Amino acid sequence: MEFLLQSILNGILAGCIYALFAMGLTLIYGVLNFVNFAHGELIMWGAYFLYLLMEKPIGLPLFLAFIPALFFTMILGLGTDRFIFKPLRQANRLTLLIASLGLSFLLRNGAQFFWGAEIRTYGFEIKRGMRFWGVSITSNQVAIIIASVICIALLYLLFYKSRLGKSMRAVSDSLELARVVGINSRRTIQFTWVIASILAGLGGILLALDTNLQPGMGLINLVKAFAATLLGGVGNLWGALLGGIVIGLAENLGVLVISPGYKDAIAFGIMVLMLLVKPSVLFRNQE
């Protein structure tokens, strides 16, 4: 029973992180109308930027390093939009997707070039967790949950209570119409990237704090983020949150029944299941 509760807790923990991933992905999708295959690499680079700042020769402590790490991730995200996605705004869908796939590959191997393929960690000692009702939770993990909740609350305020959020929703609805109405879509798009990158970077850092870092972590988390996005409805921020939690729970409860080697495949399995059961949401464009 304790085991079950622990799994549920771990599931929620992972779920919060996945929610951050999914929200970032769905934001880009909502405003720019394409799935950014390189989103996983923003996640990964966020984690590595922190690593870079915390390791010698820079050696900053965590609480000082994480803001610059997020800042760098944001620059990376904005950069990819400015140099790659902006020139391709009018290109056809396949071109855009291939470009983002190529970018993802470039970024992934870039990380491997600098840091090698080995698994790394931030070097914190494994702390003993605090025990509540038979489940253990470390202070790191508490931080993860708190950070996620704060993020989500801020996002809510931004999206629904601010002018910028309104612009973002307008642009996502119709880019041209938004322009006509006078909404500065360029600014809005840039801001979307800022938020999406920060979400990705933060998620990556939290994930790496809880587990580890390796250059390949982008791809599999992209698939999970995407599965969460699908679950909650593409372009739907709250759906992404919910979807993330569901995936996290499913993974951690799932390994109680199936082989741990397939843990990462659970998200994919959920996605396939969804497609088989409720495909109407995603049908090819009907007139």
Partner 1 sequence: MDLFLHLCIMILIYIIFALSLNLEVGYTGLFNFGHVAFFGIGAYASALLTLHHVPFELSLLIALAMAGSWGFLLSLPSLRLRGDYFGIATLGFGEIIRMIFQNEVWLTKGPMGLPGISKPILFSYRFATLPQYFLLALGFAIITFLILRIILRSPFGRVLRAIREDEVATEALGKNVFRFRIKSFVIGSFFAGLAGTLWGHYITFISPGDFTLLETILVLLIIVLGGKGTEWGPVIGAVLLIFFQESLRFLRLPAEYTRYLAPLQQMIFGGLLVLLMIFRPEGIIKEKGKVENVRSETGQ
> Cα–Cα distances in Å, from 118 out to 115, 213, 216?
8, 8, 10
Estimate to the nearest angstrom the gap between the alpha carbon of 94 and the chain centroid: 23
**The one among 56, 61, 63, 92 contacting partner 1 by CB under 8 A:** 92
Q: In whole angstroms, give the CA distance from residue 44 to residue 219.
A: 9
Look-up of token digits 């993802």: 104
Nearest to 22 by CA among 237, 272, 206, 267: 237
Residue of 1, 133, 163, 283 that binds partner 1 (CB under 8 A): 283
CA angle 40, 44, 46 (to 5 degrees): 115
Pick the binder of partner 1 from 5, 106, 142, 256 (CB under 8 A).
106
Contacts with partner 1 by CB under 8 A: the residue count is: 51
The answer to whether residue 228 forms part of the interface with partner 1 (CB under 8 A) is no
Largest CA distance in the chain: 59
Q: Pick the closest to residue 89 from 194, 189, 229 (CA basis).
A: 189
User: Shortest distance, CB of residue 28 to partner 1, whole angstroms?
Assistant: 11
Q: Segment near partner 1 (CB under 8 A), from 98-106, 170-178, 190-198, 242-250?
A: 98-106
- 3-class DSSP state for residue 21? helix
Query: Please, which of residues 240-279 interact with partner 1 by CB under 8 A?
Result: 259, 261-262, 264-265, 268, 271-272, 275-276, 279
Which of 112, 136, 138, 236 contacts partner 1 by CB under 8 A? 112
Task: Establish if 108 lies at the interface with partner 1 (CB under 8 A).
Answer: yes
The Cα–Cα gap between 69 and 204 comes to 11
Span of 3-11, 14-22, 62-70, 102-110 interacting with partner 1 by CB under 8 A: 102-110
- In which residue are the tokens 């499913």 written? 250
- Do you find a cis peptide bond into 57, omega within 30 degrees of 0? yes
Q: Is 84 in the site for partner 1 (CB under 8 A)?
A: yes
Which residue in the set 71, 105, 156, 238 belongs to the binding site for partner 1 (CB under 8 A)? 105
- Strands 130-132 and 135-137 turn out to be antiparallel
Among 113, 126, 128, 176, binds partner 1 (CB under 8 A): 113
Q: Which residues of the chain form contacts with partner 1 (CB under 8 A)? A: 34-35, 37, 84, 87-88, 90-99, 101-110, 112-113, 116, 219-220, 222-223, 226, 230, 259, 261-262, 264-265, 268, 271-272, 275-276, 279, 282-285, 287
